[in-house]
Amino acid sequence: MRINGQLLCEMVISAANALDNNKVVVNNMNVFPVPDGDTGINMTLTLTSVRSLRNFDGTVSEAADKIANMVLRSARGNSGAILSLFFRGIAKSLKGSMYATSAQMAAALKKGTEEAYKAVMKPAEGTILTVMRVCAEKATEKVEKGRFKDSPDDLFAYVYKIGEKTLAKTPEMLPVLKEAGVVDAGGYGFLFVISGMLAALRGKPVAAESATEGAEQQATFSDFDTASITFTYCTECIVAKHEPYLGEGTAKDFNEFVCSIGDSVVFVDAEDIIKVHVHTNHPGQVIEQALEYGDLETMKVENMRRQHSALIEENEKKNAPKTVIPPQPKKDFGFVSVCMGNGIRDTFTDLGVDFVVYGGQTMNPSTQDIINGVNKVNAQVVYVLPNNKNIYMVACQAAEMISDKKVIVLNTKSVPQGVSAMIGFNPDADEETNTASMNDAIANVRTAQVTYAVRDTTIDGIEIANGQTLALLDGKILTSSDSAKDCIRAIGEAFADASFITMFYGASISDERAEKTLALLREKVGEEPEIAMINGGQPIYDYIISAE
Beta strands, E only, 354-423:
355-358, 379-385, 406-409
Q: What pLDDT, on the 0 to 100 scale, is given for residue 236?
A: 87
Full-model pTM:
0.53
Q: What pLDDT, on the 0 to 100 scale, is given for residue 275?
A: 86
pLDDT in tens, the chain (548 residues): 899 999 999 999 999 999 999 988 887 775 433 323 467 887 888 898 899 999 999 999 999 999 998 887 776 656 777 888 899 999 999 999 999 999 999 999 999 999 988 877 678 888 899 999 999 999 999 999 999 988 999 999 999 999 999 999 998 998 767 765 678 888 999 999 999 999 999 999 999 875 444 444 555 544 445 444 567 788 888 899 999 999 888 999 998 898 888 877 888 888 888 988 888 888 888 998 999 999 988 888 877 666 555 554 555 555 555 444 455 678 999 999 999 888 999 999 999 999 998 876 655 666 667 888 999 999 999 999 999 887 787 787 688 778 889 999 999 999 999 999 999 999 999 999 999 999 999 999 999 999 888 667 777 778 888 888 888 899 888 998 999 999 999 999 999 999 999 999 998 899 999 999 999 999 999 888 899 999 999 888 899 999 99
Render 476-509 in DSSP notation, one character per residue.
EEEEEES-HHHHHHHHHHHTTT-SEEEEEE-TT-
Which of 281, 288, 341 is CA-nearest to residue 470? 288
CA-to-CA distance for 184 and 196, rounded, in angstroms?
19
Q: What pLDDT, on the 0 to 100 scale, is given for residue 328?
A: 61
User: What is residue 411's three-state secondary structure?
Assistant: coil
- Give the chain's end-to-end CA distance (angstroms, integer): 73
User: Which domains are present in the chain?
Assistant: 5-213 (1.25.40.340), 229-303 (3.30.70), 331-443 (3.40.50.510), 446-547 (3.30.1180)
Q: What pLDDT, on the 0 to 100 scale, is given for residue 326?
A: 53
CA angle at residue 263 from 292 to 82, to 5 degrees? Answer: 80
Q: Are 132 and 189 in contact (CB under 8 A)?
A: no
Listed in sequence order, the residues at least 6 apart from 208 whose beta carbon sits closer than 8 Å to its beta carbon are 17, 20, 21
CA-to-CA distance for 326 and 332, rounded, in angstroms?
18
Q: What pLDDT, on the 0 to 100 scale, is given for residue 34?
A: 30
Beta strands, E only, 391-433:
406-409
Phi and psi angles of residue 163, each rounded to the nearest 5 degrees, phi first: -60, -40
* Residues recorded for the chain: 548
CA angle at residue 409 from 406 to 411, to 5 degrees? Answer: 160
Distances (CA, A) of 433 to 177, 424, 428: 57, 10, 10
Q: Are 237 and 273 in contact (CB under 8 A)?
A: no
Which of 24, 56, 61 is CA-nearest to residue 41? 24
Q: What pLDDT, on the 0 to 100 scale, is given for residue 26?
A: 85
